[in-house]
A and B are shown apart, each in its own frame.
Chain A
Amino acid sequence: MSSHSTTVSSKEAWGGGQSPFGVSYGKLFMWFFLISDALTFAGLLCAYGFMRHKYPEVWPIPGEVFTHFPFVDQHIPLAYVGLMTFILIMSSVTMVLAVEAGQRKDKKGVTIWLFLTIIGGLMFVGSQAWEWYHFIVGTEHGAIRNQLINGVWQDAPFHGANLKYNEYGLPVFGNFFFFITGFHGFHVFSGVVINVVIFINVLMGTYERRGHYEMIEKTGLYWHFVDLVWVFVFTFFYLL
């Protein structure tokens, strides 16, 4: 147990024969991968911040863009993303409970919590698809844009947002929205796929035979990272 404790003399730690970080190489390199991935997201969100500061006059107000909620006719700003955030935090908790169960070699616990994590991840990806759908379709009244209809230039309404036009404001907002939430959504999707692979391995008893459930910890790190990124996306896209 001593070599895993948080306090170890530097002479002993860096003297060879053991990892100075006190973790296995797999976990260490998962951390290194996450740093590089986090830098990518930081770059994307900072680019968003740059345009946001450059065009404050015409930037869409998020509270007026994302107002839909399933089965409710009224427009409620923020409620749906609040729910999505809750789903992702919840799935992060189930993941950490799966990790904890793995450290006790409790196969049944790992199975249950990992299954719930996968369900949470799928719910989140579905919610994001729903959110995209409403952003693309747009509002009923839309906005007016000069466009070419039947060979004549005229002011006509258009609805929703795509990579070229955006009824809510500057088109680059749409570009950032699609790219950043899309990139994050793809991370969630890959996370779900990885979790499913690990889940099958748990069911087949691979880690039981190996003697430890460290693989759950490593995928858990990735899953928490996805949650971490969403916390920032939530703040910068929906709150500020």
Chain B
Amino acid sequence: MEFNDDYPQYEILAQHSEEEGKVKRKKLWRVFWIMLGITILELIIGFQAESMGLLDSLKFSTITLKIIFVGLTIVKAAYIVMEFMHLGHERKALKYTIIAPYVLFVSYLIWIIIVEGTYAGTPERKPAMSKLIIEQQSKIRTGDSHHEEGTEHSTAPVENAGEEKHEEKSKAHH
């Protein structure tokens, strides 16, 4: 369907010859090996994190480890967007139209989420409900509740407020 004869046909312009294709394929396979290498490196760091002292007392990644992982991920993402999605070889106007607003909004979102999340997580900021959930969950995680037989009622999960009422009802029935 031709609706404008003068308009350049970008679909055709994107085509290339056999020789150009050879060069392109070589480049693409190189990108693949780089990405595979980065993934393997990430897994090795993931396995060795504890012995390398990159985990904190809660067995979570330290800030160093976080920066390493996020950095490697951004490198991988850049290779996907720039080489596989071909954005690195498009016109500057398109490249920045796609990347600039996204990076701007998302970096603001990440910043505000980390700040607010950490603030909401400080002990004195956590409402009573949160404290109860944490108490309950830390028992589940360590399996401490084995030793609390007989005190069934006191350890009723917070999130089961509805079921608790149900239990009272059944007691009244008796």
Contacts and interface: CB of A to CB of B under 8 A. Distances in A.
A associates with B: yes
Interface of A: 1, 3-4, 6-8, 10, 13, 17-24, 27-28, 31, 35, 38-39, 42-43, 46-47, 49-61, 63, 77-79, 82, 85-86, 89-90, 92-93, 95-97, 100-101, 103-105, 143-146, 148, 151-155, 164, 167-171, 211-212, 214, 217, 220-221, 224-225, 227-228, 231-232, 234-235, 238-240
B25 A225 contact: no
8 contacts: A3-B13, A57-B58, A78-B46, A86-B39, A151-B170, A231-B80, A235-B73, A239-B61
Nearest to A96: B84
B7 A17 contact: yes
B14 A217 contact: yes
Interface string B45-76: 01100000000001111000110011011001
Nearest to A211: B12
A95 B170 CA distance: 61
Nearest to A20: B93
Given A6-B90, A6-B92, A144-B145, A224 B80 contact: yes
Contact of A54 (B102, B117, B143): B117
Give me the 6 closest cross-chain CB pairs, A-B, nearest first: A53-B117, A58-B137, A21-B94, A4-B13, A212-B11, A214-B11
B46 A239 contact: yes
Contact of B166 (A101, A148, A225): A148
B73 A232 contact: yes
Given A49-B110, A97-B25, A220-B84, 18 more contacts: A13-B93, A20-B93, A27-B10, A55-B137, A57-B137, A59-B60, A78-B46, A78-B47, A86-B36, A96-B84, A103-B16, A104-B21, A145-B140, A146-B160, A153-B153, A169-B137, A169-B140, A240-B69
A35 B60 contact: no
Contacts of B92: 6-7
A92 B28 CA distance: 11
Interface residues of B, number: 91
Contacts of A57: 58, 134, 137-138
Contacts, number: 237
Given A49-B110, A49-B117, A154-B152, A148 B98 contact: no
Contacts of B148: 155
A53 B117 CA distance: 5
B17 A104 contact: yes
Q: Chain B contact residues: over half helix, strand or loop, or mixed?
A: helix
Interface string B145-172: 1101100110111011001001100100
Contact of B28 (A8, A56, A96, A153): A96
B80 A92 contact: yes
A143 B139 CA distance: 9
B106 interface: yes
Contacts of A92: 80, 84
Q: Which of B59, B81, B137, B146 has the most CB of A within 10 A?
A: B137
A93 B32 contact: yes
Contacts of A1: 13
Contact of B120 (A20, A54, A154): A54
Given A21-B94, A49-B110, A224-B85, A146 B152 contact: yes
Contact of B163 (A39, A101, A148, A169): A148
Nearest to B32: A93
A41 B17 CA distance: 37
A35 B58 CA distance: 36
B53 to A, nearest CB: 16
